Amino acid sequence: MGEWKAQIGVRVRQALRAELEEFAAREKRKLGNLGEVILEWAFEQLKTAGSTQNLLKYGIRRHEPRTKRNGENRRTAA
């Protein structure tokens, strides 16, 4: 039969909304769909952290590409 969803309203800065819209367009999503994904993910993080104070203590590190060790590739030619 489908899933029931509730509509919510959120006030955000205009600059943030513009960035979210751009990101949604790159992901080929609607702004509402992107907001739903972010909200669900963020709430799971909050439940794991236990409080907003704990959640805000930690940030996500940017992924940095692995560097080659001693100038050699990890794979060796056979």
pLDDT, position 17? 97
pTM for this one?
0.67
Tens of pLDDT, residues 31-48: 999 999 999 999 999 999
Count other Cβ atoms within 10 Å, centred on residue 71: 6
Give the pLDDT band of residue 67 (cuts 50, 70, 90): confident
DSSP codes joined into one string, 18-73: HHHHHHHHHTT--HHHHHHHHHHHHHHHHHHHSSHHHHHH--PPPP-PPPPBTTB-
Give the pLDDT band of residue 75 (cuts 50, 70, 90): low
